[in-house]
Amino acid sequence: MCFTPGLLRRCCCWPVVASGLSPLNYQWQRNGTSLVNGGNISGVTSNSLTLATVSDSDAGSYSATVTNLVGTATSSNATLTVITPPSITAQPAAQRVLLGGSVSFNVSINGTAPFRHQWRFNSSAILNATNATYAIQVAGATNTGNYSVVVTNPAGSATSSSAFLSVTIPPTLALRLWVGYPLLDLSGMLSSNFVVQYSTNLAGSNWLNLLSLTN
């Protein structure tokens, strides 16, 4: 008996070759139970069994029994493993992290394992990022961008949506004198809102707003 592992939504066909006194009668079985023609199954009493549009319920052990006026012969078993293409059930989530912090991306998958993961940054593959989780231990400004993953198995592939990572850089504030006057130097990320507060008592908790800025 010839056998090729079946894939979901593919067609499988098993031929069996028998010799002996004609006529030869064939009967195919799955898991020891005789099959009947119908649905996606055809050829159950011929030398070639065909399964169209293979699904999970078709997985099992197949064999053929051949009879004639002299006796009966049964083939060896052929195991059909149905491989379901991956599908993503939970997309990676957008995140915000402080400069120097850690962050990780995850994805949930349905389908037939094992899976291979390839994480991408701004649509380009990340070197050695082939685990189910992609982690950045110390986030830098250059890590800001879109992250996605391609998941594959022998039956196909699935690509996640993009998750945007924003790395927040804390602002810096410096006080210096300029021609006898105090001058504040504020540095921070673009498109950010800042509030500068002051107090006449650094040991107290009553800080007052001095100004608000948008960079």
Domain count, the chain: 3
Q: What's the pLDDT at 173?
A: 77
Tokens found for residue 192:
């950010």
In a domain, 187, yes or no: yes
- Give the number of residues written for the chain: 215
d(CA 18, CA 75): 9
* Of 198 and 94, the one with more pLDDT: 94
Give the number of other CB atoms < 10 A from CB of residue 83.
20
- Cβ neighbourhood burial of 177 (10 Å; 0-12, 13-18, 19+): exposed
Return the pLDDT at 22.
84
* Whether residue 199 sits in one domain with residue 152: no
Q: Are residues 47 and 104 in the same domain?
A: no
- How many other CB atoms are found less than 10 A from the CB of residue 210? 11
In-domain check, residue 39? yes
Round the CA-based radius of gyration of the chain to a whole number and report it: 33
The terminus-to-terminus CA distance of the chain in angstroms comes to 73
Q: Is the pLDDT of residue 4 over 70?
A: no
CATH number, domain with residue 47:
2.60.40.10
164 and 179 part of one domain: no
The domain containing residue 139 runs over which residues? 87-168
For residue 17, with 0-12 CB atoms within 10 Å meaning exposed, 13-18 middle and 19 or more buried, which class applies?
exposed
Residues 93 and 164 in one domain: yes
pLDDT of residue 179: 79
pLDDT digits over 42-75, tens only?
999 998 899 888 888 898 999 999 999 889 998 8
Domain end: 80, 100, 133, which one? 80
Note the pTM of the prediction, 2 decimals: 0.69
The 10s digit of each residue's pLDDT in 113-149 is 999 999 999 999 999 999 999 999 999 999 999 999 9
Q: In this structure, are residues 154 and 83 in contact, taking their beta carbons and an 8 Å threshold? A: yes
In whole angstroms, give the CA distance from residue 63 to residue 1: 8
Count H helices and E strands in the chain, helices first. Answer: 0, 22
